[in-house]
Amino acid sequence: MSVLEVCNIRKSFGGEEVLKGISFSMERGEVVAIIGSSGSGKTTLLRCLNFLVEPDQGSIVVNGETVYDSETVTNRSEKELRAKRLHFGMVFQSFHLFPQYNVLRNITLAAELREQELLKERKASKEEKKKVMAQVTETAKQLLSQVGLLEKQNAYPCELSGGQQQRVAIARALALNPDILCFDEPTSALDPALTGEVLRVIRGLKSSDRTMIVVTHEMEFARKVADKVIYMADGVIEEMGEPEQVFGTPKSEKLRKFLENAKEGL
């Protein structure tokens, strides 16, 4: 069974159609890279998956559970919406860490709030609460060492480099253990010298079988790390396939041009 099935997603902003029917599916542990020029709808697609914007049409199925279907959409409660969001994690282009909290707190905050809610629902005892919260901190520390920043746990975001901030943001997204982790151009706001450390972390996640969608301008990275590459242009999936095929023998004229321009840029 596919972990994610996206079917015919459409979205318009002010009469302009940004997504014109996007469909794809992915398997557990797969990494999908989405490439394409600015304005092709890549970011909007990720934002639809995370319910930051609501699609006008289409459906999203995660692990067989329909999390969104424009046909049956009703006024969802905030609680339901939040539960659905948790299927997806999101790493933003410009990190959006919480500046007033240190690194560890950035990672534990949402997980603690979530656990508190669950504990309250089942009226857990004080001891259990303590245990769960200790577990949250423990997990956060494990994630921090996974992204190689355990020694920075008490630092504030403003004291970190862009690359380090993005690695914290990745750990923060992982803390809620999403089924699918989305990256929205995770290295575009970074100094070229810092992109490597972030890409290495993402590659590391692939080897631990994370299902990921990465919107990126790093063609080499997409080629090496992705299992599947989606090329978007003008709100449609222009071409989709294995990296070798998409980069090696592109069928679409648009994609050929795009890849040529990307090469010239190097």
Partner 1 sequence: MSFIDVTMQLLDGFKVTMLIFFLTLVGAIPLGLIISFGSMSKLKPLRWLTRTVVWIIRGTPLMLQIIIIFYGPGLIFGAAPLPRLSSVLVAFIVNYAAYFSEIYRGGIESIPVGQYEAGQVLGMTKTQIFFKIVLFQVIKRIVPPMGNEIITLVKDTSLARVVAVVELAKAAQDIVGLKGIIWPTFYIGAFYLLVSGALTLLFARIEKKLDYYKG
Query: Would you say 55 and 68 are in contact if contact means Cβ atoms under 8 Å apart?
Result: yes
Q: Which of 176, 189, 259, 262 forms a contact with partner 1 (CB under 8 A)?
A: 176
The answer to whether the Cα torsion of 41, 89, 179, 51 is positive or negative is negative
**Burial of 8 from C-beta contacts in 10 A (0-12 / 13-18 / 19+):** middle
Q: Does 92 bind partner 1 (CB under 8 A)?
A: yes
Judged by beta carbon, residue 20 or residue 114, the one nearer partner 1 is 114
**Closest CB 140 distance from partner 1, rounded Å:** 13
Q: Which of 157, 163, 186, 250 forms a contact with partner 1 (CB under 8 A)?
A: 157
Q: Does 52 bind partner 1 (CB under 8 A)?
A: yes
The residue range among 46-54, 128-136, 140-148, 205-213 that interacts with partner 1, by the rule CB under 8 A, is: 46-54
**Closest CB 153 distance from partner 1, rounded Å:** 15
What size, in residues, is the chain?
266
Judged by beta carbon, residue 119 or residue 240, the one nearer partner 1 is 119
Q: How many residues bind partner 1 (CB under 8 A)?
A: 28
Q: Does 6 bind partner 1 (CB under 8 A)?
A: no
Q: Identity (one letter) of the amino acid at 140?
A: A
Q: How many CB atoms lie within 10 A of CB 37?
A: 16
Q: Which of 27, 39, 98, 257 forms a contact with partner 1 (CB under 8 A)?
A: 98
Judged by beta carbon, residue 189 or residue 240, the one nearer partner 1 is 189
Closest CA to 234 of 15, 21, 3, 41: 41
Q: Identity (one letter) of the amino acid at 239?
A: E
Q: Identity (one letter) of the amino acid at 195?
A: T
Q: Identity (one letter) of the amino acid at 230?
A: I
Q: Does 158 bind partner 1 (CB under 8 A)?
A: yes
DSSP calls for 141-168: HHHHHHTT-GGGTTS-GGGS-HHHHHHH
Give contact residues for partner 1 (rule: CB under 8 A). Answer: 50-52, 78, 82-83, 85-86, 88-90, 92, 94, 96-100, 109-110, 113-114, 156-158, 172-173, 176
